[in-house]
């Protein structure tokens, strides 16, 4: 097999970390004759990772991409030009299949279009899935939904994270096969000898006497909703009077976050903006609780990391998170009061059983075996397009 991995994201976030783990799971497989990684030079962490892998494995070749999906966003001419040039690269590589890392169905669209132009089998890896617009939605929203539905037909196969996301994909692309591949987390999160007290000391935090809450992830108000956390603190200042709230990460709303904290006496007293960190384990271990008030999620790495490290994580009840976390650790997505209540009650939740199940479910051994089973086999044939029989409804309906 001549396998290609495609990533044109300029961001090095959770999706990219999962892609790295997929590469590591596949790179030494005996069934792969050549392994090609297409990655932007502008994404230095991903580019450096690919170069390191190529230096260690003779069959790996890195093909640099001179653009990112962000650099051509909203520019149809640039999308067309990059798709044609990337298709030419794919024709020269003559790949058996191309695995395309997608944050959404719109991101990495160049890779999908290029694969189609080059007649290369395209496998979409862990895209988040949009719900179809409702019949009563505005016309612009319904048109956008129909366009996206057409885009969902482009991949020859999907790889997603759980049954919930697979069912959502099947609603958008009922004829496209979709396989499930859950991620893994390094076992150092469950085997660290670092204690809460030593972790706090190493980070310059009080060893005792303070309740510490951490939010770890990309600073993006629409997705990760750091703004929701800030609003909850301001609504319940007394609850956080003896707390330290750590916000770890970087992203497009980092400046807004800084301004919001500086402009509020309540927030300035308890919120500490840490910035991006190469290793988040000490911050997890130093905390009494980790929070994830996201508007949407797939299977967030920080959720798995926190549970493996023995720290409760309080998450918004979105997507399929209820299939991973108990009700005691979930809150209704728009409810500040329930969020705050869960934050301070979560440390009392008995976490050991959940930790044990996560240790098995998200092990590297399980991931590697499943990744090879899914990706080293031929892509299943598309099912007969049964949806064509009822595809004459108005815009926005199924």
pLDDT digits 0-9 by tens, 236-295: 999 999 999 999 999 999 999 999 999 999 999 999 999 999 899 999 999 999 999 999
pLDDT band of residue 393 (cuts 50, 70, 90) is very low
> Which of 163, 161, 165, 159 shows the shortest CA–CA distance to 179?
159
Q: Parallel, antiparallel, or unpaired: how do β-strands 157-160 and 178-180 relate? A: parallel
Residues in the chain: 398
Q: Which residue has the higher pLDDT, 135 or 285?
A: 285
Q: What is the CATH topology of the domain spanning 188-360?
A: Rossmann fold (3.40.50)
Q: Which residues contact 193 (CB under 8 A, 6 or more apart)?
A: none
In the predicted model, what is the mean pLDDT of the chain?
91
Residue 348's Cβ-side half-sphere holds a number of Cα atoms within 13 Å equal to: 6
pLDDT digits 0-9 by tens, 29-50: 988 999 999 999 999 999 999 9
Q: Give the integer Cα–Cα distance in Å for 123 and 97.
A: 7
Helices (H), 236-385: 254-262, 265-270, 281-286, 301-308, 336-345, 352-361, 364-375
| Residue 382, pLDDT above cutoff 80 | no
Residue indicated by tokens 């108005």: 394
Q: Give the integer Cα–Cα distance in Å for 123 and 102.
A: 10
Percent pLDDT > 70 in the chain is 96
- Give me the pLDDT at residue 391, please: 41
Q: How many CB atoms lie within 10 A of CB 281?
A: 18
176, 158 Cβ separation under 8 angstroms: yes
pLDDT band of residue 1 (cuts 50, 70, 90) is very high
pLDDT digits 0-9 by tens, 344-353: 999 999 999 9
**Cα pseudo-dihedral 166, 108, 224, 172, rounded to 10:** -30
Q: Give the integer Cα–Cα distance in Å for 173 and 132.
A: 11
Average pLDDT of the residues in 367-381: 90
pLDDT digits 0-9 by tens, 172-199: 999 999 999 988 888 889 889 999 999 9
Three-class secondary structure assignment of 246-278: EEECCCCCHHHHHHHHHCCHHHHHHEEEEECCC
**Within the chain, which residue ranges are assigned CATH 3.40.50.2000?**
2-184+366-390, 188-360
Average pLDDT of the residues in 370-385: 82
- Give me the pLDDT at residue 58, please: 94
- Give me the pLDDT at residue 383, please: 60
| Residue 387, pLDDT above cutoff 60 | no
| Residue 233, pLDDT above cutoff 70 | yes
Average pLDDT of the residues in 375-397: 56
| Residue 56, pLDDT above cutoff 80 | yes
Residue 241 backbone class (left: φ over 0; alpha: ψ -120 to 50; beta: rest): alpha
| Token pair in block for residue 334 | 């728009």
Question: What's the angle, vertex CA 288, arms to CA 283 and CA 290, rounded to 5?
Answer: 60
Helices (H), the chain: 14-26, 44-56, 76-93, 109-118, 139-151, 163-172, 188-191, 196-202, 226-235, 254-262, 265-270, 281-286, 301-308, 336-345, 352-361, 364-375
Average pLDDT of the residues in 59-72: 96
On whether the 2-184+366-390 domain is CATH 3.40.50.2000, my answer is: yes
- Give me the pLDDT at residue 397, please: 36
């Amino acid at each position: 097999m001549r396998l290609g991995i495609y990533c044109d994201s300029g961001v090095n976030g959770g999706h990219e970390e999962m892609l790295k783990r997929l590469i590591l799971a596949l790179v030494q497989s005996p069934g792969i004759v050549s392994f090609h990684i297409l990655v932007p030079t502008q994404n230095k962490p991903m580019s450096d990772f690919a170069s390191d892998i190529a230096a260690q494995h003779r069959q790996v070749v890195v093909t640099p991409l001179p653009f990112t999906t962000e650099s051509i966003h909203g520019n149809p001419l640039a999308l067309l030009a990059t798709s044609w040039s990337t298709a030419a690269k794919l024709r020269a590589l003559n790949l058996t299949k191309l695995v395309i890392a997608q944050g959404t169905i719109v991101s990495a669209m160049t890779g999908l279009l290029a694969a189609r132009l080059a007649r290369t089998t395209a496998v979409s890896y862990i895209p988040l899935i949009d719900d179809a617009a409702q019949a009563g939605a505005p016309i612009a929203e319904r048109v956008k939904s129909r366009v996206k539905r057409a885009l969902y037909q482009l991949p020859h196969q999907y790889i997603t994270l759980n049954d919930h996301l697979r069912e959502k994909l099947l609603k958008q692309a009922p004829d496209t096969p979709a396989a499930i591949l859950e991620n893994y987390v390094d076992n150092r999160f469950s085997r660290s000898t670092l204690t809460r007290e030593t972790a706090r000391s190493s980070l310059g935090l009080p060893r005792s006497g303070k309740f510490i809450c951490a939010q770890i992830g990309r600073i993006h108000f629409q997705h990760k909703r750091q703004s929701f956390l800030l609003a909850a603190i301001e609504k319940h200042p007394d609850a956080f009077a003896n707390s330290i709230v750590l916000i770890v990460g970087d992203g497009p709303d980092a400046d807004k976050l800084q301004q919001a904290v500086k402009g509020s006496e309540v927030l300035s007293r308890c919120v500490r903006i840490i910035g991006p960190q190469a290793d988040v384990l000490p911050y997890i271990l130093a905390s009494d609780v980790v929070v994830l008030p996201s508007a949407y999620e797939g299977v967030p790495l920080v959720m798995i990391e926190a549970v493996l490290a023995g720290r409760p994580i309080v998450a918004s009840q979105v997507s399929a998170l209820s299939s991973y976390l108990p009700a005691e650790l979930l809150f209704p997505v728009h409810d500040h009061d329930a969020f705050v209540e869960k934050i301070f009650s979560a440390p009392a939740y008995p976490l050991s059983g959940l930790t044990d199940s996560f240790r098995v479910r998200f092990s590297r051994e399980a991931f590697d075996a499943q990744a090879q089973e899914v990706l080293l086999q031929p892509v299943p044939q598309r099912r007969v397009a049964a949806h064509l029989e009822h595809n004459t409804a108005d815009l926005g309906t199924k």
